[in-house]
Amino acid sequence: ASGIRSMVFNPDGRTLFCGLHESLK
């Protein structure tokens, strides 16, 4: 869970998270 939090707080991680969300779609 902490890894996901780091992604949310990091600008680059945020973009990566959005890309991952799109992939899940």
Residue range 1-25, pLDDT digits in tens: 556 565 566 666 667 676 767 766 7
What DSSP assignment string belongs to 1-15?
A: -HHHHHHHHSHHHHH
> Tell me, what's the pLDDT at 4?
59
> Tell me, what's the pLDDT at 9?
62
> Tell me, what's the pLDDT at 22?
74
Lookup: tokens for 4: 């996901």
